[in-house]
Amino acid sequence: MSMSLNLWLEYILRFSHLVAGIAWIGSSFYFIWLDSSFVAPETPRKNVEGEVFMVHGGFYYQVEKRKIFPGEIPKTLHWFKWEATLTLLTGFCLLIFLYYLNGATLLVDSSIRAWTQTQAISLSLGIIAAAWVIYDLIWNANLVRSKTLSLVLSVIFFSALTVLNFSIFSGRGAYMQTGVIFGTLMLLNVWIRILPGQSKMLKEAQAGQIPDYSVSLKSKVRSVHNTYFIFPVLFIMLSNHFPTIYNHSHNLVMLICLAISGALIRHAMVTKLPRERWVLLPAAIGFAFLVFITAQTPELPPAPEMVGFQQVKAIIANRCQTCHSPNPTDDTFKVAPKGIVFENEAQVRALADKIHVQVVVGRTMPLGNKTLMTDEERAIINQWLIQ
Ligand code: HEC
């Protein structure tokens, strides 16, 4: 595909994913806020549990939280499901475009496991599907009756899942795979566990029966889970722009720390009990810990005291030019990625800062360590950059 077409396709996919995500998370936050703001009406009205008054854009809005019984069904009922669906669909297109195509080079790191493209994609899809089955079983009230037990099992399960992703995929791939799993669970919660229950209650009311509102409580559990996934997913969406995070030697611990801190922030935001806001303290400690580990310079083997460009040139020829040259020999990249070529010292010097981030700090390049660069070589490049 031509470079320009590639660029715009990626741009449009990212843009639609972002817009759909804003709509989904925006409506999610709005309902979280609504749920925590209802007060009982001054003069009680039949079937109305709470009401809320708002002012926005020059008008007043009154929203009631209520149950619906036979004979009370509104002509138009607005459902909130397409924001979520579109977010996941555009997200999946992005996953395919960025991580599954191009030989799955962003998903695979040959120094972790040298999967073929088909193997990497099958593993990724298989793990996503299995994650839903297991999560759904853990929260099946007929199977696991205690919510505390479900919670403990979930923590163990999600930690093991993250470890598994990091033992299979590249740092960037593992971050994204974990995020895609969370996003998929959120969407399947909506379509498989929330909407069918809602439709059932509506049909009962339409058929003139008293709806079984115990179903609402079951849907609510999954709806609440979805709110806990929001921040971890957003962190992961941002993380793929930060090689220093996803390729850090402690990237796994950092992801778990980010996810837990995100879930705690969500809890503090939503809880009706002010004393539960203590959870912000561990979240803050989590972030301080992240700052601390990224401040450590990555360990590299000792390099010779003086390094000449000839040494660097030889390394670049072996490890980088298969992709970054006017005529790449790589099996996937037939044009130099991002137009970056390293043919002479000036071109290398011009990108010194970026090379430092990609090769020494983040270890993102060579991509998926396809050309098997060694730590000694990274140390030599680092030494030359320092000089
Ligand atoms: C297998 C192919 C491949 C090899 C080998 C490779 N790169 Fe890259 N490089 C890429 C791709 C693809 C991108 C674009 C990545 C993206 O879009 O995030 C890139 C981007 C870059 C960037 C720009 C990053 C930015 O900030 O946008 C730098 C700098 C870079 N590579 C340096 C190197 C160096 C130095 C080496 C050798 C040590 C190397 N690359 C080896 C494929 C490769």
Same domain, 281 and 335: no
Q: Is residue 148 part of a domain?
A: yes
Are the CB atoms for 259 and 166 separated by under 8 Å? no
Nearest CA owner, ligand 1 atom 18: 241
Is there an atom of ligand 1 within 6 Å of 34 CB?
A: no
Same domain, 203 and 323: no
Q: From the CA of 244, how far away is ligand 1's center (Å)?
A: 14
Is there an atom of ligand 1 within 6 Å of 354 CB?
A: yes
Cα–Cα separations (whole angstroms), residue 80 to 16, 230, 253, 256, 375: 18, 16, 35, 30, 51
Among 60, 64, 61, 59, residue whose Cα is nearest residue 74: 64
Same domain, 211 and 345: no
Rg (CA), the chain: 25
Residue 164 CB burial class (10 angstroms; 0-12, 13-18, ≥19): middle
pTM above 0.85, yes or no: no
Are the CB atoms for 203 and 250 separated by under 8 Å? no
How many CA atoms does the CB half-sphere of 262 hold within 13 Å?
A: 20
Q: Is residue 10 part of a domain?
A: no
Same domain, 132 and 281: yes
Are the CB atoms for 186 and 193 separated by under 8 Å? no
Q: Final residue of a domain: which of 263, 295, 327?
A: 295
Q: Token pair for residue 255?
A: 């992801």
- Mark the ranges of the chain whose per-residue pLDDT is less than 50: none
Domain residue limits at 237: 80-295
Same domain, 186 and 96: yes
Is there an atom of ligand 1 within 6 Å of 358 CB?
A: yes
Among 167, 176, 174, 178, residue whose Cα is nearest residue 112: 167
Same domain, 122 and 231: yes
Q: How far apart are CA 292 and CA 318, in angstroms?
A: 35
Q: How far apart are CA 253 and CA 359, in angstroms?
A: 21
Top mutation candidate among 365, 371, 375 for ligand 1, by most atoms within 8 Å of CB:
365
Q: Is residue 333 part of a domain?
A: yes
Q: How far apart are CA 143 and CA 135, in angstroms?
A: 12
Q: How far apart are CA 161 and CA 159, in angstroms?
A: 5
Same domain, 223 and 327: no
pLDDT at 274: 83
* Atom in ligand 1 nearest the alpha carbon of residue 351: 29
Q: Final residue of a domain: which of 295, 324, 339?
A: 295
Same domain, 267 and 160: yes
Is there an atom of ligand 1 within 6 Å of 355 CB?
A: yes
pLDDT at 1: 59
Is there an atom of ligand 1 within 6 Å of 104 CB?
A: no
Same domain, 98 and 168: yes
Same domain, 381 and 264: no
Is there an atom of ligand 1 within 6 Å of 359 CB?
A: yes
pLDDT at 303: 80
Same domain, 227 and 254: yes
Q: Final residue of a domain: which of 266, 295, 324?
A: 295
Give the total number of structural domains in the chain. Answer: 2
Q: How far apart are CA 179 and CA 165, in angstroms?
A: 11
Q: From the CA of 365, how far away is ligand 1's center (Å)?
A: 5
Top mutation candidate among 338, 347, 353 for ligand 1, by most atoms within 8 Å of CB:
338
pLDDT digits (tens, 9 = 90+) for 178-201: 999 999 999 999 999 999 999 999
Q: Is residue 365 part of a domain?
A: yes
The residue assigned the tokens 């549990």 is 49
Q: From the CA of 320, how far away is ligand 1's center (Å)?
A: 8
* Atom in ligand 1 nearest the alpha carbon of residue 328: 2
Q: From the CA of 204, how far away is ligand 1's center (Å)?
A: 58
Q: Is residue 173 part of a domain?
A: yes
pLDDT digits (tens, 9 = 90+) for 292-307: 888 876 678 888 888 8
Q: Is residue 5 part of a domain?
A: no
Is there an atom of ligand 1 within 6 Å of 334 CB?
A: no
Long-range contacts formed by 349-352: CB under 8 A, 24+ apart: 352/385
Q: Is residue 108 part of a domain?
A: yes
Q: From the CA of 114, how far away is ligand 1's center (Å)?
A: 19
Q: Is residue 7 part of a domain?
A: no
Is there an atom of ligand 1 within 6 Å of 370 CB?
A: yes
Nearest CA owner, ligand 1 atom 37: 320
Same domain, 267 and 323: no
